[in-house]
Each structure stands twice: as C-alpha cells, then as structure tokens.
Amino acid sequence: MSPHNSAATLRLVPAHRVVPPRLVRLPRFLTGPSPMARWLARHRIAAERPRPPEPPGEAPAGTAPQGRITPASPLPGPVIEADRGPIRRPPTPPEERRREPGGGGGGAGGAAPPRFHKPVGPEDFGRALRLGVQAVRRNLGLVMVLTCATNLLILAIPIYLFQISDRVLTSRSVDTLVMLTIVIAAAVVLQAVFDAVRRFVLMRTAVEVAARLGAPILSAASAAALHGTGREYQTLGDLQQLRGFIVSGTLLSFLDVPFAPLFILAIYFVHPHLGTIVVGTSLALLVITLINQKLTARPFAEANAAQSRANLHLDSMSRNSQIINALAMIPEAVRIWGRDTATSLTAQVHAQDRNIAASAASRAVRLLTQVAMLGWGAYLAILGEITGGMVIAASIIAGRALAPIEGAIEGWSGYAQARAAYGRIAGLLTGSKLQFERLNLPNPEGRLDVERLLYVPGGTKQVVLNGVSFALTPGESLAIIGNSGAGKTTLGKMLVGSILPTSGNVRLDLMDLRNWDPRQLGENIGYLPQDVQLFPGSIKDNIGRMRLDATDAQIYAAARLADVHEMIANLPQGYETVVAADGAPLSGGQKQRIALARAFFGEPRFVVLDEPNSNLDSAGDKALAQALRHAKENRITVVVVTQKPTLLTVVDKIMLLADGSIQMFGERMQVLQRLAGDKAPRPAPRAPGPSQVPGQGPGQDPGKNPGQGGPKS
C-alpha cells in the first residue's frame, strides 16, 4: 500500500442485519484512503438510502461512502462494507420501488411512460487486473527503496568489526569506540525499522491485491462458469496463493538479490581475490538456480493441475454429500479425490526433491565460500595484504551477498506456484468478455421473438435444437411439451440467456438477449429451473433474489403469488427461516414454491418455468395456476416447460418439441385437438388425460403430426 493512500481505518460491516458491525482498526501507519477501500466503495451496491449516481471514475479520496452504517461511524477514513458486492446497482431510487412494489414493470401498464434502467456500465476485468498490477508495482517501488536502505545499513556490522579490530584496538581509544558504537547502534535500529516497514508494506500490498482482484475474479469466474468447466471458481484459491507469496520471505529474498553486486563490490575493495571467490560462488549459485528452475517447472505444473482437479471433485462432493451417503459412495468419492491428490503429491515430491537437492547444493557452495574466504583471507593476512578485521568483515559481507540467492533458490517452488496462479488469474480476467456499456433502454414489455435457434453443445456433434422459431406477444403464455431429451430444458435456458445458441437469436422486445444490459435483463425476467437450488440464507432473501433493495412488500407480494405465504407463516422463524445449502428444512415442493416466488419477484416481464409442478401437490398446482393467471392479468409473458397435463388448460399456446425441432405450435385448442386426433372444434378446452401429456401416450406419436403451427404462428 503506497504511503499516500494506505488505509487508515477499515471497518468491516458484516452482511447480516442483526449482527453489530465488527470494527477492525488498523494502524494509522501510512495514512490516507486506501485504493482497496476506494475500489470497494466504487463497486458497492447502494443500500436503503438513495444517493446520486456515482461517476464512473474513482470515488473521491478520503470520503466515506454513503451507506446505512457509515453516518454513525465515529471513525474517520474510508469504510469497507463487507456485505457489498462488485456489481454497482443501477441507481433506481428505492423510494420509487417502494411506491410501486414490483416496480420492474416496463410499459405493461400502457398509460405510464416506460421506465428506464440505468446500465451498470462496462465491466472491464482486464482493467481491474491492470490496476491491481499497477498497485503492486507502485508499492514494490517503495519496498525497493526501503530494501536499498536496509541493505546499505546491513554493512554497519562488518564496518563496525573492521573498525574495532583495525582502529579501536590499535589506537586503544575509548572515545572512538563509544562514538562508533552509538553510530552503528543507530544504523542497526534504523535497519530493523526499515526492514519492518517494508514487511508492513508488503503485507498491505497482499491485502490490497486480494481486495482489488477478489471481486473481479469472482464476477469473471461466475460469468466464465456458464460456458466453462466450473474450475473458474478455483481462481479465488489462486488469489490466496498469490497473496501468500507476497508476504513470504521468498519475495524478500528476490528483492534482496539485486543488492548482491553491491556487497561483492565491497568485498572487492577489501581484496580482489576475495571478490573473485564471491563472484565465482554467485555464478555457481546462478547455475544451480537455472537448473533448479528447469527441473522443477514441469512437476510443479503437473502438481497444480492435479490439485485443481482434486479441489473440483471435493467441491462436487460437498454439494452431493447426501447422495454420497445415501448410496454409500464414500469409498468411490474418496478414491477419485485420492487419485488426483496422489498425482498432485507425487508431482510435488518430484519437484520438491529437486528443489531440496538444489537448496542443499547452494547451501554447501555458500558454506564452502565462507571457508574459502576465511582461509584465503588468513593467507592474505599472513602475507600482510589485509588485516584480520578485514577478513572477518569480508566473510560477513559475503554471507550477506549470498543469503538472498540461496533464499531465492529455496523458495523457488513458492515462486513457481505463485507465478502459475497469477497466470491463471490473468487468463481469467483478460479472457473475460468486456461488458460494453449498453444503451439506456426502457424496460421490456415482454415480446419474445425466437429465430432459427440451432444449438450444438461445444465439443459434441449432437444437434440439441434445430431451427426453432416462434414468437409470443406480451402477456401470452406458452407450454412446451415433448418427450424426455427433446430439448425443452435447453430451449428454456436459452430463452433466459443462461446458454447461448450456436446460431440464431432470442429477442426480448426486438433486442437480442446478448445486447441487453445483463442486470436490466435479469431484473426483468424470472426463471424457475428444473433443478431448484436455493441460496444459503433466509427465505425472504431467497425470494428477494438476495437483493439489498428488495422491499418487504415486494417479497410478500411474490410469496402471495406463489401461495407460499401460509407455508412460510407456519415455520418457527417465518420469513427469517434460514435455508441451508441443501434446501433444509424445506421439502422439495416447498423449495419449488419459494423458487416460483423468486421467479415472479419484482414483477418481471418475461418468465420461464421449467417443470414448475414436478414436486407440487394439488395445493401447489393451484398456486401455480394462480401465478399463471396473475401473469396473464399483468401481461407477463410466460413459457412453461411441463410434462404434466394440468398446466395445458391455462396457457394460450402449446409447442410440441421432438428431437430439438418444433413438431407442433399453435393455439392451445388447435394443438390439443391435433394431438387428440380430434378435428372437430370444441367449445371449451378439455384437459388431457390424468397421467400423460398429449402426444406422449400410446398411439400418440408426435412425429405423425408434423409441421403444425411451425415457426411464428
């Protein structure tokens, strides 16, 4: 942390409302607002208090961000609010939302002017990395100055020795001894202070790196995980590794190495022969370093890769702990983890063996150098070319010159791992797509246009969706039916932008989903996935999509809509009931209804429900039908993927999907009649059979009714 902007006081405010703020007071060393605090302040989401939009630049230095805790703060300096994420909330005044619960509405009402959304601005992760690297460089500049001073002052002891043996002992001057001792003692104290200061700065640099890059890495990892392997989240672990290296002794050794020539020069001044011995030793150590690097790079890379696979497996074990226990799969799970861990450990042993051998060789070379220095120095003293004090002083200086080189060799593994970790961090941040600043659009009304969707998952040749085209007007509802594996879930995910088509477009209010501001799009759509997952947190937080600006009225309205209010009211802690990562204490159906409430939270304009009644009882089915009626009344466009027939009675249109292609698409009655093979028009919709979706029962081969409806009915 640079001296002009290091943190004076950081106040960490925990996320939970009932926990009082925990104060962490750091020393007032290097006072000024920290870049870390400014970074977090710039990326914070506004809480209850409305405030004017922040300019895109840095927050004013030294000013505390306006948050709900900040005004009460007795402490000067910046405030870091630990419950804030990196996404800047669009500055919609909360009052406006409170006046109009569910205020995400676009032009659905007709009379009201369209509501505009303030885009979040471009999210340039590459820039975050550059700023982080800049901060480290700036701080390392200061550390180098301190290192320079420390290394110069280290010469005080050899000089003291030299002066005592060659001047004080020969002159027998007590005054000289006292003066010399005072000066050298001051130099030693100063050296200790400078050394401590550079360690303080490095420690704060490590904190600054974590604070600057943590949130961008998590954001970039979340975005990359959508199309990646899930390993992206492990980059946060890489950040820990980098942080550890910055505070390690190895980095100090690396910083001290450039000063070795200074010491060698000093030894040359004592006697060129001694200088030559040290130069020879330095070259030998350099060769050992290069060989060490060459021999350890590959095994360390292998160890890292295997460790990252083991961590991924560990993560999946923690998520599937129930099934692992229920099916007694613990030995298998442990074996898979053990295999990757063993590979990692084996590679580490190979690398460390070579590293230890190199360290031993370098230590032996260094000790032999001391022997050579003393022996040859004594010989030179016998010849009368140097004094005994000079010999000892040169030996101490030589030890000081070679120690950092040896330290660098010993810590090479840490350096290699930190460098690999930095490579992965840089790869993630620079490889993440730049989120361009989007045009400030009115919120959508819910018109959906799907054009020639083709989806071939990466690395496969399987065509999952093939030329899917259809359109829905605002407020229309569509049920997608079809056999298992027909592509219904894939289509549902594509409609909400959670996977991208290989070709084709999904447009909401004419705009391709990829061109909407992601935050605005997310606020205006609802999604209930097939595999419902709730976040660890309270029920109200889950319904309110974990948003800080979710009002109680909005949460209640969503709960009523999903008819889950009564169920929540019966829980001992009501809306404050904390849901665990596995959804406990809720049943599958209760989880699904809370997820339904979450999907309808904030009055989205377009909602996709993927098998929303797979776990519901009859009351849940009624709630779902009510939610769909509410959607119709409020002109919310709904697409519902279903295997059950009950929902078909409440939708406007039905699509039959088979092998990724539309087999039928049209008005509900029309499709139901075709599916039933009944050409005669009927006055009222007839619910299909109790257990089968039309087209899936015996004798109902959807492939035999092709081409009905087709694209864009």
**Minimum distance, C-beta of residue 655 to ligand ATP, in the bound complex (Å):** 12
Cα→Cα distances 147→195, 201, 394, Å: 7, 11, 21
**Minimum distance, C-beta of residue 480 to ligand ATP, in the bound complex (Å):** 8
| Contact with ligand ATP (CB under 6 A) among 139, 490, 524, 642 | 490
Burial class, 568, CB count within 10 angstroms (exposed 0-12 / middle 13-18 / buried 19+): buried
**Minimum distance, C-beta of residue 700 to ligand ATP, in the bound complex (Å):** 16
**Minimum distance, C-beta of residue 228 to ligand ATP, in the bound complex (Å):** 12
Interstrand relation of 10-12 and 22-24 (parallel, antiparallel or unpaired): antiparallel
Interstrand relation of 465-472 and 448-455 (parallel, antiparallel or unpaired): antiparallel
- Residue 380 CA, chain-centre distance (Å), reads 62
User: What whole-number distance in Å separates Cα of residue 616 and Cα of residue 595?
Assistant: 12
Residues within window 48-87 making contact with ligand ATP, judged by CB under 6 A: none
Residue 4 or 227 having the CB closest to ligand ATP: 227
In the 3-class helix/strand/coil scheme, how is 43-102 assigned residue by residue?
CCCCCCCCCCCCCCCCCCCCCCCCCCCHHHCCCCCCCECCCCCCCCCCCCCHHHHHHCCC
- Piece of 167-175, 483-491, 546-554, 597-605 that binds ligand ATP (CB under 6 A): 483-491
User: What whole-number distance in Å separates Cα of residue 191 and Cα of residue 208?
Assistant: 25
Residue 464 or 675 having the CB closest to ligand ATP: 464
| Contact with ligand ATP (CB under 6 A) among 488, 545, 635, 674 | 488
**Minimum distance, C-beta of residue 589 to ligand ATP, in the bound complex (Å):** 18
- Phi first, then psi: what are they for 641, rounded to 5°? -90, 130
The reply to whether 229 sits near ligand ATP by the rule CB under 6 A is no
Burial class, 484, CB count within 10 angstroms (exposed 0-12 / middle 13-18 / buried 19+): exposed
Residue 47 or 608 having the CB closest to ligand ATP: 608
Residue 541 or 611 having the CB closest to ligand ATP: 611
**Minimum distance, C-beta of residue 498 to ligand ATP, in the bound complex (Å):** 12
Residue 229 or 570 having the CB closest to ligand ATP: 229
User: What whole-number distance in Å separates Cα of residue 295 and Cα of residue 352?
Assistant: 10
**Minimum distance, C-beta of residue 676 to ligand ATP, in the bound complex (Å):** 21
- Piece of 119-127, 290-298, 478-486, 566-574 that binds ligand ATP (CB under 6 A): 478-486
Q: Are 239 and 276 in contact (CB under 8 A)?
A: no
Query: The tokens 């989806």 sit on which residue?
Result: 455
What character string, x for contact with ligand ATP (CB under 6 A) and - otherwise, covers 422-461? -----------------------------------x--x-
**Minimum distance, C-beta of residue 662 to ligand ATP, in the bound complex (Å):** 13
What character string, x for contact with ligand ATP (CB under 6 A) and - otherwise, covers 332-351? --------------------
**Minimum distance, C-beta of residue 528 to ligand ATP, in the bound complex (Å):** 13
Residues within window 112-171 making contact with ligand ATP, judged by CB under 6 A: none
**Minimum distance, C-beta of residue 611 to ligand ATP, in the bound complex (Å):** 7
Residue 325 or 498 having the CB closest to ligand ATP: 498
What character string, x for contact with ligand ATP (CB under 6 A) and - otherwise, covers 454-473? ---x--x-x-x---------
| Contact with ligand ATP (CB under 6 A) among 120, 365, 486, 564 | 486
**Minimum distance, C-beta of residue 494 to ligand ATP, in the bound complex (Å):** 9
Residue 365 or 478 having the CB closest to ligand ATP: 478
DSSP letter assigned to residue 152: H
Residue 347 or 468 having the CB closest to ligand ATP: 468
Beta-bridge partner residues of 435: 123
Residue 304 or 663 having the CB closest to ligand ATP: 663
The reply to whether 579 sits near ligand ATP by the rule CB under 6 A is no
Q: Are 463 and 455 in contact (CB under 8 A)?
A: yes
User: What whole-number distance in Å separates Cα of residue 424 and Cα of residue 553?
Assistant: 44
**Minimum distance, C-beta of residue 224 to ligand ATP, in the bound complex (Å):** 16
Considering only CA atoms, which of 583, 582, 566 is closest in space to residue 574? 566
Q: Are 713 and 674 in contact (CB under 8 A)?
A: no
Q: Are 636 and 106 in contact (CB under 8 A)?
A: no
**Minimum distance, C-beta of residue 668 to ligand ATP, in the bound complex (Å):** 20
DSSP, residue by residue, 576-618: GPEEPTT-TTS-HHHHHHHHHHHHHTT--SEEEEESTTTT--H
Residue 343 or 483 having the CB closest to ligand ATP: 483
User: What whole-number distance in Å separates Cα of residue 440 and Cα of residue 462?
Assistant: 38
- Piece of 63-71, 90-98, 436-444, 481-489 that binds ligand ATP (CB under 6 A): 481-489
Residue 53 or 457 having the CB closest to ligand ATP: 457
Residue 557 or 647 having the CB closest to ligand ATP: 647
- Piece of 435-443, 486-494, 612-620, 645-653 that binds ligand ATP (CB under 6 A): 486-494
**Minimum distance, C-beta of residue 518 to ligand ATP, in the bound complex (Å):** 21
Total residues contacting ligand ATP by CB under 6 A comes to 13
The reply to whether 485 sits near ligand ATP by the rule CB under 6 A is yes
- Residue 437 CA, chain-centre distance (Å), reads 21
Residue 311 or 490 having the CB closest to ligand ATP: 490
DSSP letter assigned to residue 26: P
What character string, x for contact with ligand ATP (CB under 6 A) and - otherwise, covers 230-259? ------------------------------
Angle at 450 between CA 445 and CA 451, to 5 degrees: 140
Residues within window 521-540 making contact with ligand ATP, judged by CB under 6 A: 530
Burial class, 74, CB count within 10 angstroms (exposed 0-12 / middle 13-18 / buried 19+): exposed
Residue 226 or 371 having the CB closest to ligand ATP: 226
**Minimum distance, C-beta of residue 644 to ligand ATP, in the bound complex (Å):** 11
User: What whole-number distance in Å separates Cα of residue 634 and Cα of residue 108?
Assistant: 7
Strand stretches in 473-566, DSSP E? 477-482, 503-508, 511-512, 525-528, 537-538
Instruction: Note if the bond before 585 is cis, omega within 30 degrees.
Output: yes
User: What whole-number distance in Å separates Cα of residue 584 and Cα of residue 591?
Assistant: 9
Q: Are 632 and 477 in contact (CB under 8 A)?
A: yes
- Piece of 153-161, 316-324, 488-496, 513-521 that binds ligand ATP (CB under 6 A): 488-496
**Minimum distance, C-beta of residue 641 to ligand ATP, in the bound complex (Å):** 7
**Minimum distance, C-beta of residue 503 to ligand ATP, in the bound complex (Å):** 16
* Residues sharing a CB contact under 8 Å with residue 143, sequence separation 6 or more, in sequence order: 198, 201, 202, 205, 255
Residue 207 or 496 having the CB closest to ligand ATP: 496
Task: Determine the angle formed by the axes of helices 174-225 and 249-256, rounding to 10 degrees.
Answer: 120
| Contact with ligand ATP (CB under 6 A) among 90, 94, 106, 487 | 487
| Contact with ligand ATP (CB under 6 A) among 205, 489, 542, 700 | 489
Which parts of this chain interact with ligand ATP (CB under 6 A)?
457, 460, 462, 464, 482, 484-490, 530
